[in-house]
Amino acid sequence: MSLSSSLLWRGLLAIAVGVVSVIWPGITVGAFVILFAVYAFIAAGTEVMRAFSSDRAGPVVGYLLLAVLSLAAGLVALFWPNITALVLVLWIAAWAVATGLVEVAMAFRQGEAAGARAMWSLSGLVSIALGVVLFIRPDLGAASLATVFGLFSIVYGVSAVVLSMQARHVTSTARRMLNPTH
């Protein structure tokens, strides 16, 4: 598959996922929770396999403990999806505040130009604000995150489709230059 075709299909898929995420954010949150549960079950299975491939008792216990924790996380996600979505929103809120604080701190490093300081400060403050809003209203956070994810996917998809067209154009131009017909 060529680069332009790969970009085109990736872009079209991203646009489709983005549209679904914007139109049905609840379904998107549910899908994320289910994907997390599947991931947790796969992780549990791999930990069990690792436990029984070890030749010592110590790692076996540790791997089995990890398997039980992963299995429990998957079951919690399936049986209590709202709690799982809430925890996801709170985790993202904590991440946003922490990265925002680091970005604001980076604005005051020595040697930064005024424009760079302003950008670090602005992006850090926006990140902190997002985290605070998610902490205050986590109930709205999951649907909002799904919508933002959808909008991002649409923008990413459109840019991938445009890049696909540009790559196709560059490829055809290069072919003409390498194989001129007289």
Q: How many domains does the chain have?
A: 1
pLDDT digits (tens, 9 = 90+) for 84-107: 888 888 988 898 899 889 988 888
> Which candidate, 6, 46, 8, 5, places its Cα nearest to that of 159?
8
Domain that holds residue 69: 3-178
The burial class, CB within 10 Å (0-12 / 13-18 / 19+), for 39 is: middle
**pLDDT tens, position by position, 15-57:** 998 899 899 988 888 888 898 899 899 999 998 998 888 676 6
Burial annotation 49-69 (CB, 10 A radius, 16+ → b, else e): ebbeeeeeeeebeebbebbee
pTM: 0.60
